[in-house]
Amino acid sequence: MKKKFRLKKSVVKKLKVVGVILAIILGIYLFYLSQIYSLTELGYSVEASKTILFDFKKEYVLSVGENKTLNAAFESSDYKEKYLDQYTKIEYQNQKHLIRNINTLIEKGYSNDNISMILAHGNDEDVGEFAKRDKINYLEEFFSLDYAKLRNYDRYVDYSNETGEDNETTVLAVNLDMDKENYEDPIIISEFSTDMLVNKHRSLEKDFVPDDLVSIDEEYAADDTQSASRIAVNAFMKMYKAAESEGYHLVINSSYRSYQDQEETCNTYRGLYGDNYVTNYVAMPGFSEHQTGLSFDIGSRDSNIFAESDEYEWIQENAHKYGFIQRFPEKYEAITGFRAEPWHYRYVGEKIATYIYENNISFEEYYAIFLDTNE
């Protein structure tokens, strides 16, 4: 007969007590998990949910519902209980020091709407810098425009005082660095894209070469030395054929020019016509759109003066369908910094070209409104 294994009564009692304690702990833990779960279901992160539970703010959070700024507050060590209601009313932005900056802005006396507006007009660093300054006077005047930038505020005020321009013109002009001298302290561009902006404030690196540079078949050009970005060349060939089918004869007179080519061009024109001419009509090396490989100087096969040719009339009405814009029209001389060049066309793609054609704006304005970011 086997000997039965038996625990002593006192041991059994202790085990029962341990079991009950474990069951209680498990129960509490499951309850805790279910609480976290109910908050994550509502859109709060696990990290935020823990703080919400430990600070006994679950009821409050449930009454608010999903709120990204509140979530960020509970995730942040900067969160202040007295500002909870304000957090819920301020529009969330994905910024590292969001809550710390909100606290500072509340303390400076900005309203919730003002703070939402401030946060939307800069990156984390811009907002941090802005929060350090005294409360500003013309917040809504400038920042009701989507494309206004916090970091440019002082320049907006100066420009508007100096020129008397309206807020919209001021913000566009300053964002385009028109408050600076031409060629002064330019932004340096190294990456190719069909919507890149190159002008007297935005220069290409000396060794910048467009992606996909291809030579242009002599059929389309005045000589066999022309080259440009493939995407622009393909678009030009389509436009060329469309024009041809309607009896108009286009020709490329100039296309991609390297930094060194542009240097030579400048020197040639300087020798011929002097400094003034170069300043107005020729871009300095690095500042020419021809270096992007997206620009063409277009002529007519049948006329020496393009602006007076039938081809010019045709291209004005049709270029946008093929992704081209006339880059330096007379009406935008003040914005582009170049005298009118009826022959200079730039590939920007059909979407942008059509918008510019339909809305009568310069590429500079399009860039400032739609393409420029706060990065």
For the annotated catalytic residues, the residue numbers are 341
Q: Between residues 100 and 327, which has the closer beta carbon with respect to Zn ion?
A: 327
- Greatest CA separation found in the chain? 123
* Residue-wise DSSP of 259-295: HHHHHHHHHHHHHHH-HHHHHHHSPPTTS-GGGGT-E
Residue 139 CB, shortest distance to Zn ion, in Å, is 41
From the list 297, 307, 304, 324, the residue with the least C-alpha distance to 242 is 324
Instruction: Please name which of 178, 218, 222 lies closest in space to residue 199, comparing C-alpha atoms.
Output: 178
Q: How far is the CB of 326 from Zn ion (least distance, A)?
A: 11
Closest CA to 339 of 250, 291, 278: 278
Contact 156, 170 (CB under 8 A): yes
71 — phi, psi (to 5°)?
A: -60, -45
Give the containing element (helix H, strand E) for 100. Answer: helix 98-107
Cα separation of 221 and 228, whole Å? 11
Find the residue with minimal CB distance to Zn ion. Answer: 344
Q: Which long-range contacts (CB under 8 A, 24 or more apart) does 26-32 make?
A: none
Tokens of residue 134, six digits: 């005294």
CB nearer to Zn ion: give 149 or 346.
346
Compute the least distance from the CB of residue 338 to Zn ion, in Å: 9
What SS3 class is residue 34? Answer: helix
Q: Determine contact, residues 286/266, Cβ cutoff 8 Å.
A: no
Q: Are 319 and 239 in contact (CB under 8 A)?
A: yes
- Region class of 47: left (phi > 0), else alpha (psi between -120 and 50), else beta: alpha
Q: What is the DSSP letter of 370?
A: I
Q: Which helix (H) or strand (E) holds 159?
A: helix 153-163
| CB 241 to Zn ion: min, Å | 22
* CB of residue 252 to Zn ion, shortest distance in Å: 11
Under the rule (CB under 5 A), what is the footprint of Zn ion? 297, 344
Q: Are residues 290 and 229 in contact, defined by beta-carbon separation less than 8 angstroms? A: no
Helix axis angle, 124-132 relative to 98-107, nearest 10°?
A: 20
In the complex, the smallest distance separating the C-beta of residue 365 from Zn ion, rounded to whole angstroms, is 20
What distance in Å separates the CA atoms of residue 341 and residue 202, rounded to the nearest whole number? Answer: 19
> How far apart are CB 288 and Zn ion at their closest, in Å?
8
